[in-house]
Amino acid sequence: MTVENPQPKLEPDRVGQEIYQLISELYPICRSITGDGLRVTLRHLQRDIPLELHEVPSGTQVFDWIVPKEWNIRDAYVKSASGKKVIDFQHSNLHVVNYSSPIQTRMPLEALKEHLHTIPEHPDWIPYKTSYYKENWGFCLPQRTLQDLEEGEYEVVVDASLEPGSLTYGELYLKGQSEDEILISCHSCHPSLCNDNLSGVGLATYLAKTLMDRLPLRYSYRFLFIPGTIGSITWLALNQDHVDRIKHGLVVACVGDPGMLTYKKSRRGTAEIDQAVTHILRHSGQEYEIQDFTPYGYDERQYCSPGFNLAVGCLSRTPHGCFQEYHTSADNLDFVQPAYLADSLSKYLAVLDVLENNKKYINTIPMCEPQLGKRGLYGAMGGRKDTSDLEMAMLWVLNLSDGETSLLDIAEKSGYEFNIINETASILLGNQLLVEIKD
Ligand code: ZN
């Protein structure tokens, strides 16, 4: 069954292309959990959305963690005795272990090898490695390049700084009719990797942009563009008093690959966000997967830590670690595609549409069925293909609107799509057969 969407229709081709274009612009930047790459990325997003940048000084205690020193890199290479750069940061920022300490030295191949990382089963790909919380240095390269390195002495240069500075994150707050919030969070710290997680950064940006055109909404929205793990820990530590306003949330990650949509439930498992995403995926006509919460993954780990236990799930396509391109140079601009980005965005919007409209009503004529015919409600939607669905949905909404059962509960019980139940409720409300229960 289909229902006319009251929202302005998105043009999936155009919006997918625009998100892809944004990803292409951000792709070359060397990001990390702190530093100028992250700042430049967030400032770039300010062209599309009024993101506010926050700086949290290195050394700040955030729960059991400490905001690390700030890392910035200018150049890095390994040069052979003949003067040829055999590994060059300028060709790919993945070549340097992210957060490598500065170094300038010479060493024989055998000693150098202890600092080199490859993926033997994918000999042309460069792995993505990090060393955030242990001072170390290293290079990542294709296995084929490693095999071709000749014995001899190599010059090793990492022209980077690791000094007191700050951690940067971006925040956008869209005020709604209620102070209750929906949190949208994405990690923005990975260098030249597209699905993980420029796809999430791009989707969250366009989600914010789309919602800004629809204001005022029922809920307030808070978008966080943060470095993974330390960013969500830092935000939670600095905003503890505020956290109980967050009623629902989604972590946006890996949303541009060809895989099916996958939803990882919140730790609560039966929260409204879990119910809403499951409903949208079940009625999407596409393959999908629902997974229970696990304490591993992205920033939902922090939002769902037992002290917070927020209703935050993670809606991805192929989840982290489950695609072979994950954390390698093959997670590139060929791996993510506009059509998948657009499809993911449409699912996010559909989920938010459910949350925005998932209200509770009371039937004003609960003693036997109200006579719909005399109110012109039978056949009122004549000419529409889904007339009989609407009439049947009307009976469901009237019967179950007891002030406690939400429209989403009614959709689930009746088997109808949320859209049709919501449209039915609007018609009944317009005919004074329902009254809304305010939260
Ligand atoms: Zn990652």
Cα 76 to averaged position of ligand 1 atoms, centre (Å): 22
User: Could you tell me which of 316, 314, 293, 317 has the C-alpha nearest to residue 305?
Assistant: 293
Query: Where a domain ends, among 318, 336, 357?
Result: 357
Residue 376's pLDDT is what?
Answer: 87
Query: Mean pLDDT throughout 54-81?
Result: 98
* CATH code, 141: 3.50.30.90
In a domain, 2, yes or no: no
Cβ–Cβ contacts within 10 Å for residue 46, how many? Answer: 13
> Is 1 a member of any domain?
no
CA of 57 to the centre of ligand 1 (A): 24
pLDDT > 80? residue 332:
yes
pTM score: 0.95
Distance in Å, CA 320 to ligand 1 centroid:
7
- Length of the chain, in residues: 439
Q: How far is CA 423 from the centre of its chain?
A: 29
Q: Which residue, 252, 220, 64, 80, is CA-closest to 150?
A: 80
* Residues 407 and 286 occupy one common structural domain: no
Regarding whether 405 and 311 lie in a shared domain, the answer is no
Shared domain for 219 and 336, answered yes or no, is yes
Q: How far is the CA of 298 from the centre of ligand 1 (A)?
A: 8
CA distance 331 to 258: 12
How much is the pLDDT for 438?
85
Evaluate whether residue 5 is within a structural domain. no
Residue 347 lies inside a defined structural domain of this protein: yes
Write out pLDDT tens, residues 41-64: 999 999 999 999 999 999 999 999
Q: How many domains does the chain have?
A: 3
Please tell me whether residues 299 and 177 are part of one structural domain. yes
Q: Is the per-residue pLDDT at 424 higher than 80?
A: yes
Strand order in the sheet with 70-79: 85-88, 70-79, 153-163, 103-108
- Cα 30 to ligand 1 centre (Å): 14
Least confident range from 27-31, 66-70, 375-379: namely: 375-379
Pairing label, strands 166-174, 220-226: antiparallel
Under the banding of pLDDT at 50, 70 and 90, the label for residue 8 is very low
171 shares its domain with 200: yes
Q: With a cut of 80, say whether residue 84 has pLDDT above it.
A: yes
CA of 227 relative to ligand 1 center, distance in Å:
10
Q: Where is the domain boundary, 299, 326, 357?
A: 357
- 187 with 290, same domain: the answer is yes
Burial of 374 (0-12, 13-18, 19+ CB in 10 A): exposed
Residue 248 sits in the same domain as residue 390 = no
Residue 94 pLDDT > 90: yes
pLDDT value for 2: 38
CA dihedral 324, 328, 333, 334 (to 10 degrees): -40
Q: How far, in Å, is the centroid of ligand 1 from the Cα of 196? A: 5
User: What pLDDT sits at residue 381?
Assistant: 58
Residue 379 binned pLDDT confidence (cut-offs 50, 70, 90): low
Q: How far is the centre of ligand 1, averaged over its atoms, from the C-alpha of 326 (Å)?
A: 7
Mean pLDDT of the residues in the chain: 95
Mark whether 259 and 155 lie in a shared domain. Answer: no
* Domain assignment of residue 197, yes or no: yes
Angle at 391 between CA 386 and CA 393, to 5 degrees: 90
Q: Are 253 and 187 in contact (CB under 8 A)?
A: yes
Beta bridge partners of 62: 65
**How far does the centroid of ligand 1 lie from the alpha carbon of residue 11, in Å?**
30
- Whole-number Å distance, alpha carbon 247 to ligand 1 midpoint, is 26
Same domain, 102 and 174: no
Residues 277-315 pLDDT 10s: 999 999 999 999 999 999 999 999 999 999 999 999 999
* Domain co-membership, 211 together with 342: yes
Boundaries of domain holding 385: 360-437
Q: Are 162 and 99 in contact (CB under 8 A)?
A: yes
pLDDT band at 7 (very low <50, low <70, confident <90, very high): very low
Distance 226 CA to ligand 1 centre (A): 13
Q: Which residues surround ligand 1, an ion (CB under 5 A)?
A: 196
Residue 84: how many CA atoms within 13 Å on its side-chain side? 7
Task: Confirm whether 6 is domain-assigned.
Answer: no
What's the gap in Å between 317 CA and the centre of ligand 1?
Answer: 14
Q: Please report, rounded to a whole number, the percentage of residues in the chain having pLDDT higher than 70.
A: 95
Write the CATH number for 221: 3.40.630.10
Query: Which domain-ending residue is among 125, 146, 163?
Result: 163
CATH of residue 424's domain is 1.10.10.10
Task: Report if residue 129 sits inside a domain.
Answer: yes
Which residue has tokens 């791996």? 335
189 and 283 together in one domain = yes
- Residue 388 has what pLDDT? 82
Same-domain check for residues 274 and 140: no
Dihedral (Cα; 95, 99, 102, 106), 10-degree rounding: -40
Tell me the CA–centroid distance for residue 365 and ligand 1, in Å.
55
Residue 421, domain member (yes or no): yes
* Residue pair 67/57 in contact by the 8 Å Cβ criterion: yes
pLDDT of 9: 44
